[in-house]
Structure 1
Amino acid sequence: MRNKRMFVLMIVFIIFVAVMGFSIGDRKKLTWPENFALDTSGFFQQWLYRPAGYVSDLVHDLTHLREVYKENEQLRIAAAAYARDSIKYNFMEAELKQLQDDLSFTENQKKLNNYKYLIAQVVAVNNDPYDETIRINLGSKDGIKPNMVVVTNKGLVGLTTRVDPFFSSVMPITKLNVNSTDTKQIAATVLGKENDSFGIVDNYDSETGKLSMSKISEHDPLKKGDTVITSGKGNVFPRGVVIGTVDSSQVGDFGLTYTATITPAADFDHLTEVFVVQTPDLGDETP
């Protein structure tokens, strides 16, 4: 009943204000009851308008906040996709560069010597000092035989030893030991001085990470920075394979010949791809 009365009063008040508005017309001066009525209606309108404005602003802010949240979600998704694609691109770019280097290496080697290069993936590395071997994913089914030279596009890695149908073991040159009967010494020379330089690479020092080259003539023009390659003598290592660079040279134990310290060219800590060298005298064709 009370609500009904309030409603009736509000209707009467609104009608009263409207009638006053029409009655005022073009008059410039208002009576004090008319001023009071207008001020009172303005007061109530002010208190009704402000909360409505606050509510409207709050709804607008909440709507805007929701849109910002959606935009942030989309940006996070885009950033994650970019990071993923960037990693994928960098990996593919590195892989493409590696393949280009491998292709360039094999093409250049074909121009120098009539060798064939079978690319292989390193599947395992055994760092046991008593049985240090490298396992590759090529075997007898691919034409691999024992004592075939294995290289990277940087330099000599070693020789194949045990050959299975689909995999092979490689003995790295880091196992070279002058006191071991199993060591296959490497006849070596200097690139560009093949007719004037000769020596034997026959030992590896695990503490220094260097190879030793012995039986060097005192008249040998070998010097620091020279590139040491296989000479092809001995019918084990084909000629022209890079072994490393000369680090230093010194007089041998008996003063008759010189020895040299060589930094290996191949990076044995990061072996992922290698090449098995097929020489013409092995008589095998690439499958």
Structure 2
Amino acid sequence: MPRFFSNKRLILLLVGVIVLVALISFSLKDRQNATLPEQIVKDVVGFGQSLFSKPAHYITGTLDKIDGILNTYEENKHLKARLKEYAATQAELADVRADNKTLREIVDKKDSLRDYEPIQATVISRNPDQWEEKIVIDKGSVAGVKLNRAVITASGLIGKVVLVTPFKSTVELLSTENSNFRVAAVIPGDEAIFGLIEGYDQARGELIMKRIDSNFHIKEGQKVESSGLGGIFPKGLLIGEVTEVSTDDFGLTKLAYIRPAADFSMLDHVMVANRSSGVTSGTDGEVDEEEEGEDGS
């Protein structure tokens, strides 16, 4: 025992451990007020942190600003290049429009297959019959709606008017299984590929484009538009894009599956495209032979 107490280092170590444990247990207590030593330590440490953190934050912020300036410079260069391309495209478009106008004046043709007068309408009901999918809109003959006019949304073509009353109209959708519903379509490109939208595959949720010449090569992802040749639908209305190409049952022509551009299940606001050329209509829904040739009725 006397030898134990004579070892000062061991005694100091034990005392230090005891004090450390006491301080730890004291600091772990649920206290609302810090002791004077704790306040001094916290203040000193906090002052030291603020002393070093402020310059560090300043340097970091400066570096971020420099990086932002460099990124802005690069983005500005990119946007200027795109702006030049846009200006060139606008100039080219203006030239094309001028040439088009000149050519129309030469041939004395004022109308275009793309021309139509849009009539805004709202869908008020939908036919529950899935075989002939139809919707009813709140515009009729009083608003200028006529029979067999194309109906579109902002996304693309959805169908045509099949019944008109003074204040309402019925629209048959492209997703109908009515075999008499046909749309003259085209796949634009260096060489236009023509065909007919005939039928809708319910399992795939896709339209079927038939009667395509087997000599043409069609790629997946190509856009499909209305051709304007049938007399009902204006030219250039987006229908969808090609997802798969196959051959018909006899192997003489090709068919393509088309993913519709418009969502037939979510229809609120639509437009009736009253075509201004290529269609002559009689009274109360009588249409010429050109129209009847497209819809197959």
Query: Which bin holds the TM-score, normalised by the shorter protein?
Result: 0.5 to 0.7
1:237 deviation in Å?
1.9
Q: Report the counterpart of residue 242 of structure 2 in structure 1.
A: 246
User: Is 1:219 aligned to 2:215, yes or no?
Assistant: yes
The superposition leaves residues 88-125 of structure 1 with CA deviations (integer Å, 9 ceiling, x where unpaired) of: xxxxxxxxxxxxxxxxxxxxxxx993222111111111
Provide the TM-score with structure 1 as the length reference: 0.55
Q: How far does the alpha carbon of each residue in 1:249-272 deviate from its partner, in whole angstroms, 9 at most, with x for none?
A: 012211221111111111111111
Gaps of 5+ in 1: 1-110
1:1-287 equivalence runs, <5 A: 113-177=114-178, 180=179, 183-193=180-190, 195-281=191-277
Deviation above 3 Å: which 4+ runs of structure 1?
A: none
The runs of 5 or more residues in structure 2 that have no matched partner are: 1-111, 282-297
Q: Measure the CA separation in 2 of the matches of 1:174 and 1:131.
A: 8
Q: Percent identity?
A: 38
Counterpart contact for 2:163–2:171, Cα < 8 Å: yes
Give the whole-Å Cα distance in 1 for the aligned partners of 2:115 and 2:132: 33
DSSP-derived class of the 2:175 partner: helix
**Corresponding residue pairs, total:** 170
Deviation per CA, 1:69-88: give whole Å up to 9, x if none. xxxxxxxxxxxxxxxxxxxx
Determine the C-alpha separation between the residues in 1 that align with 2:247 and 2:261.
Answer: 24
Distance of 1:146 and 1:152 partners within structure 2: 18
Letter in 2 for 1:192: G
Match of 1:65 in 2: none
Q: Distance in 1 between matches of 2:142 and 2:181?
A: 25
CA distance in 1, matches of 2:113, 2:263: 23
CA contact (8 A) 2:119 2:145 kept: no
CA contact (8 A) 1:212 1:260 kept: yes
Larger Rg: 1
What are the superposed Cα offsets for residues 170-210 of structure 1, whole Å, 9 maximum, x if unpaired? 01111144xx3xx23111111335x4311111010122211
Partners of 1:216 and 1:283 in 2: CA distance:
28
* Corresponding letter in the other structure for 2:163: R
Task: Give the 3 Å change call, closer, same or farther, for CA 240–176 of structure 1 in structure 2.
Answer: farther
Paired residue type of 1:197: I
- Cα separation, partners in 2 of 1:113 and 1:232, compared to 1, 3 Å: closer
CA RMSD of aligned residues (A): 2.2
Asked whether the equivalents of residues 157 and 172 of structure 1 are also in contact (C-alpha less than 8 Å), the reply is: yes
Return the alpha-carbon distance in structure 1 between the equivalents of residues 167 and 128 of structure 2: 22
Contact 1:196–1:221 (Cα < 8 Å) also in 2: no
Contact 2:149 2:161 in 1 (8 A): yes
| TM superposition score normalised by structure 2 | 0.53
